[in-house]
A and B are shown apart, each in its own frame.
Chain A
Amino acid sequence: MLLSSEKKTADMRSAYGDTLVELGRDDPRIVCVGGDTTDSLKTKKFGDKYPDRMFNVGIAEANLVSVAAGLSIAGKIAFASTYAAFIPGRCVDQIRNAICYPSLNVKLVVSHAGLTVGPDGASHQQIEDIASMRTIPNMRVIVPADAVAVKHLIRTIARTPGPFYLRLARPSSEVIYADNAESFLIGRGNVLEEGSDATIIACGLMVVMAIEAAMELKRKGVSCRVVDMFSIKPIDSELVVKCAKETGAIATAEEHNILGGLGGAVSEVTAETYPVPVKRVGVRDTFGESARDEEIDTLLEIYGLTATEIAKAVLEARSRNRK
């Protein structure tokens, strides 16, 4: 069973922190580097359990990721974590040269990505990271949709050698996957809903909205496939092409700038392999703004990150479908 049968919410960061503790128990090579945000990232639990293997370097992200590189050179599996605004926001160069170029075993797991950071405002709303991380050779980019996916994907990246960038959102979010779902392979997307008229390819918190949009469209008689493309790099090209061929139109949805992110990655595949209309839903190349937690839904509405927007995008893509 892939999808959860009950409706509940869970926190991605706690899923990360708890999984890291479990990994640390089984493998002494697991270490963690934090940057004065360990409480928030829930890596503090790991530090409480394994104080020798937790290194808090303070508010110094360039140093943070480079120390992680050094740890991996000496044989450790290094998790480096803070807010997405700072990793990769403040240290793309170090990630490129110290981690990706030598293809080191460093896992950048960051939180507070996208607009849903909320009250901190645009300075902390990281919406460029998928684009910047995905263009660096050797880096793989993972955006899980819920806490269950986080749990599985953290384990997967821990046992897969080489650099990873894994992006978490701040809010507690709806759980999509069944607890025992096993289908989280790097380079593969998950088809959550079948459909024949169009496909929504989404990642992160937008996957829930994609499912909602598909339901909304179903009521209008449009059969919509929904794909959770948590593996943005390597992307599941085969699945993208299959969707293009079988459904003829694609909408993408991400909590990221529409430039260079998931929408960009999907468009690259279709444009080169099997061109079909693609409509991207995301932040439309603008900075966000502050919103209190209870105002986040409105914030997302203002910036066009809703199920309704996704449904509109599907219809628009379909209308341009020459099939």
Chain B
Amino acid sequence: MGFNMRYLDLKRRIRDVRMWAIQGIAEAGSGHPGASFSAAEIMGTLYFRTMKHDPSNPTWEDRDYFINSKAHSAPGFYSTLAVAGYFPPEEIRTLRKLGSRLQGHPVRYSEHQKHHSVPGVEYSGGSEGIGLSVGIGIALAKKLDREKAKMNKVYVLIGDGESNEGQIWEASMAAGKFKLDNLVAILDRNRIQQDGFTEDIMPLDPTKDKWAAFNWQVFEVDGHKVEQIVDALYKAARVHDKPVMIVANTIKGNGIRHMANNPQWHGKAPPKRQTEVLLEELESECLIAPSIIAGERENYEDKIRKVEREGVDMIHLDVMDGRFVPNTTFFADTIKKLRPSTSLPFDAHLMIEKPLEKVQEYIDARCDIITVHAEACTENEFKEIQERLINAGISPGIAINPGTDMPNWLYRSLHDLDVIIVMSVNPGFAGQKFMPEVLPKMMAVNKELMEHGFRGYIEADGGIDATTLHQAYDAGARIFVAGAAVYGGGDIHGSVIQLRHKAAVALEKRLLNHSTRLNVRSDWMKARKHILIPYANELGIEEELHAIK
């Protein structure tokens, strides 16, 4: 709910974490992609947003502690530390090799272990079930020091397979006894352990009830929705006299579709020659952002609730002032009223004149992304807007109309730019037709900006539906604003499924083409067979897929 998380930057960093992790695992030929990926958002949110820590001073006395008890998620953990700035990410490629600082399971960093660890690792994991107890020890010590030092939080990541260990429950009792409200445990509830599904091997449910019965304050989140994790961690910081357990429902292997929810990928490395394809998949994550001004005039809150249920990624808010564009929609006061209705990020698209004068209202309304129009501001005005947004923890964006070229001054602001909206209609009304003539511009913008170091997202806005999405996708867009395509027909559920399906087809096509270029097409199709089957017809690969054993 807009807790200064700079949403798109956070998403992007977590995407980078996954990309580094898979490179490390593929290079090593072993490792645990499943756990690295199920916990990516949890670790990313902690390190990139919530935790008090300083990569340039890893033993800073006022830091928060992170104990990675499910230490087989090491590739993800190392990558998180690297992206956070503790060591150069390229070192991930030495993972698990002889002489590497990146051991198969992380080792607490100290002078005596400096050749087998990296600064920032507080705990030597690998044997399951121990980390929560260690976290308790740190939390107890920090309580003793409370008068001298500021209160440090201790975050412990535990696994659900790991929860088979009796020691987890010894620790659970102890934390309750000591009322450790400076301790937050996060359960990576991916429901898969080495031999299969947790509920078959050793059932953990009713998980929440168990922790509550052990005198913990329990929250439950979708462990891949950073906004929910941020929200729960914020609430956790306000609990008194009890330790906090955040049950994060996750998908093992999330990010690579054929690894997701598949016990086979608990501890297996993908073939090295497929790495490039996997990286492409990770880089191609799509976000769907329904625009609530579309469709019947009805209660916005109701519209938000309906798409939230469908698992969309964010809410697109088209703000029109009747001057920059001919139409008028709503302003910051409406957004402020809508804010408590959802934890989904608010993607505010300000189609207004003089955005610099108004931007503070939208910051105060707790939008997560604020995009202004290139046509409505000068370079200096945009720079000021950008700076204010960054300082407020909001993702800055710029939008360009179909008839506008990318302003040259934008190249000087790319580093802190999280999104560029390339309009595929002339803004001002909902329900317009997609303009395919913007596609070459989108493609050129994408290519050129990437070359100049842009690491953000391209957002397609205007006439995006099941027939046009793939075109914008191929041109480089990864965020899709869908208005009429979601709210226009009446079947919101079906519409969102259809959009996701089209995005999936576009992705699979892209990955297949890439695998062909890399000469690994048949291997790729074999690994991916169960994913490809539903799309075989649209991809025109029915016979080819059938021939693969």
Interface residues of A (CB under 8 A from B): 31, 33, 52-53, 55, 57-58, 60, 62-63, 66-76, 78, 93-94, 96-98, 101-104
Rounded to whole angstroms, the CA-CA distance of A57 and B140 in the bound complex is 12
The answer to whether A70 and B126 touch across the interface, beta carbons within 8 angstroms, is no
The answer to whether B170 and A101 touch across the interface, beta carbons within 8 angstroms, is no
Rounded to whole angstroms, the CA-CA distance of A68 and B141 in the bound complex is 10
Contacts of B178 in A (CB 8 A): 55
Interface residues of B (CB under 8 A from A): 65, 67, 107-108, 110, 112-113, 122-127, 129-130, 133-142, 144-145, 166-167, 170-171, 173-174, 177-178
Rounded to whole angstroms, the CA-CA distance of A31 and B143 in the bound complex is 13
Contacts of A78 in B (CB 8 A): 137
The answer to whether B137 and A62 touch across the interface, beta carbons within 8 angstroms, is no
Rounded to whole angstroms, the CA-CA distance of A57 and B145 in the bound complex is 20
CB closest chain-B residue, reference A65 = B133
Rounded to whole angstroms, the CA-CA distance of A60 and B165 in the bound complex is 12
Rounded to whole angstroms, the CA-CA distance of A93 and B126 in the bound complex is 11
Contacts of B126 in A (CB 8 A): 97
Contacts of B138 in A (CB 8 A): 70-71, 73-74
Contacts of A96 in B (CB 8 A): 127
The answer to whether A63 and B171 touch across the interface, beta carbons within 8 angstroms, is yes
Rounded to whole angstroms, the CA-CA distance of A186 and B174 in the bound complex is 34
Contacts of A66 in B (CB 8 A): 130, 133-134, 136-137, 167, 171
Which of B108, B125, B141, B173 meets A71, CB within 8 Å?
B141
Contacts of B177 in A (CB 8 A): 57
Contacts of A75 in B (CB 8 A): 141, 145
Which of A52, A55, A69, A103 meets B134, CB within 8 Å?
A69
Assuming A66-B134, A97-B125, what are 7 further A-B pairs, CB within 8 angstroms?
A: A60-B167, A67-B136, A69-B133, A73-B122, A94-B130, A96-B127, A97-B130
Q: Give the distance to chain B from A145, nearest Cβ to Cβ, in Å.
A: 31
The answer to whether B144 and A70 touch across the interface, beta carbons within 8 angstroms, is no
- List 23 A-B pairs, Cβ < 8 Å: A52-B144, A60-B174, A63-B133, A63-B167, A67-B133, A67-B140, A67-B171, A69-B137, A70-B137, A70-B140, A71-B137, A71-B141, A73-B141, A74-B65, A74-B141, A75-B145, A76-B141, A101-B107, A101-B108, A102-B107, A103-B110, A103-B112, A103-B113
Interface centre among B110, B123, B133 (most CB of A within 10 A): B133
Rounded to whole angstroms, the CA-CA distance of A71 and B142 in the bound complex is 9
The answer to whether B167 and A62 touch across the interface, beta carbons within 8 angstroms, is yes
Which of A31, A67, A102, A104 meets B144, CB within 8 Å?
A31
The answer to whether B134 and A98 touch across the interface, beta carbons within 8 angstroms, is yes
| Given A62-B133, A97-B130, A102-B124: A57 and B170 interface contact (C-beta under 8 Å) | yes
Rounded to whole angstroms, the CA-CA distance of A31 and B142 in the bound complex is 12
The answer to whether B174 and A58 touch across the interface, beta carbons within 8 angstroms, is yes
The answer to whether B170 and A70 touch across the interface, beta carbons within 8 angstroms, is no
Contacts of A70 in B (CB 8 A): 67, 133-141
Chain B interface SS verdict (over half)? helix
Contacts of B139 in A (CB 8 A): 70
Rounded to whole angstroms, the CA-CA distance of A63 and B134 in the bound complex is 8
Rounded to whole angstroms, the CA-CA distance of A62 and B127 in the bound complex is 12
The answer to whether A102 and B137 touch across the interface, beta carbons within 8 angstroms, is no
| Given A52-B144, A62-B166: A73 and B108 interface contact (C-beta under 8 Å) | yes
Contacts of B133 in A (CB 8 A): 62-63, 66-67, 69-70, 94, 98
Contacts of B137 in A (CB 8 A): 33, 66-74, 78
Contacts of B130 in A (CB 8 A): 62, 66, 93-94, 97-98
Rounded to whole angstroms, the CA-CA distance of A53 and B139 in the bound complex is 13
The answer to whether A94 and B127 touch across the interface, beta carbons within 8 angstroms, is yes
Rounded to whole angstroms, the CA-CA distance of A69 and B135 in the bound complex is 9
Rounded to whole angstroms, the CA-CA distance of A173 and B178 in the bound complex is 37
Contacts of A67 in B (CB 8 A): 133-134, 136-137, 140, 171, 174
Contacts of A71 in B (CB 8 A): 137-138, 140-141
Contacts of A60 in B (CB 8 A): 167, 170, 173-174
Rounded to whole angstroms, the CA-CA distance of A102 and B171 in the bound complex is 20
Contacts of A58 in B (CB 8 A): 170, 173-174
The answer to whether A102 and B174 touch across the interface, beta carbons within 8 angstroms, is no
Rounded to whole angstroms, the CA-CA distance of A9 and B17 in the bound complex is 63
CB closest chain-A residue, reference B139 = A70
CB closest chain-A residue, reference B168 = A63
Q: Give the distance to chain B from A87, nearest Cβ to Cβ, in Å.
A: 14
Which of B65, B135, B142, B144 meets A53, CB within 8 Å?
B144
Contacts of B113 in A (CB 8 A): 102-103
Rounded to whole angstroms, the CA-CA distance of A285 and B138 in the bound complex is 40
CB closest chain-B residue, reference A75 = B141
The answer to whether A97 and B167 touch across the interface, beta carbons within 8 angstroms, is no
Rounded to whole angstroms, the CA-CA distance of A52 and B126 in the bound complex is 31
CB closest chain-B residue, reference A66 = B133
CB closest chain-B residue, reference A91 = B167
Rounded to whole angstroms, the CA-CA distance of A33 and B141 in the bound complex is 12
The answer to whether A98 and B124 touch across the interface, beta carbons within 8 angstroms, is yes
Rounded to whole angstroms, the CA-CA distance of A62 and B171 in the bound complex is 9
Contacts of B141 in A (CB 8 A): 31, 70-71, 73-76
Rounded to whole angstroms, the CA-CA distance of A55 and B136 in the bound complex is 11
Q: Give the distance to chain B from A108, nearest Cβ to Cβ, in Å.
A: 14
Which of B110, B127, B142, B174 meets A57, CB within 8 Å?
B174
Rounded to whole angstroms, the CA-CA distance of A104 and B137 in the bound complex is 12
Which of A53, A63, A69, A93 meets B170, CB within 8 Å?
A63
Contacts of B108 in A (CB 8 A): 73, 101-102, 104
Contacts of A97 in B (CB 8 A): 124-127, 130
Contacts of A102 in B (CB 8 A): 107-108, 110, 113, 123-124
CB closest chain-B residue, reference A97 = B127
Contacts of A62 in B (CB 8 A): 129-130, 133, 166-167, 170
Q: Give the distance to chain A from B536, nearest Cβ to Cβ, in Å.
A: 48
Contacts of B112 in A (CB 8 A): 103
CB closest chain-B residue, reference A74 = B141
Q: Give the distance to chain A from B69, nearest Cβ to Cβ, in Å.
A: 10
Contacts of B124 in A (CB 8 A): 97-98, 101-102
Rounded to whole angstroms, the CA-CA distance of A98 and B136 in the bound complex is 13
Rounded to whole angstroms, the CA-CA distance of A71 and B178 in the bound complex is 14
Q: Give the distance to chain B from A74, nearest Cβ to Cβ, in Å.
A: 3
| Given A93-B127, A102-B108: A74 and B142 interface contact (C-beta under 8 Å) | yes
Rounded to whole angstroms, the CA-CA distance of A68 and B135 in the bound complex is 10
Rounded to whole angstroms, the CA-CA distance of A263 and B61 in the bound complex is 45
Q: Give the distance to chain B from A177, nearest Cβ to Cβ, in Å.
A: 33
| 6 interchain residue pairs of minimum CB distance | A70-B137, A66-B133, A74-B141, A102-B108, A60-B170, A63-B170
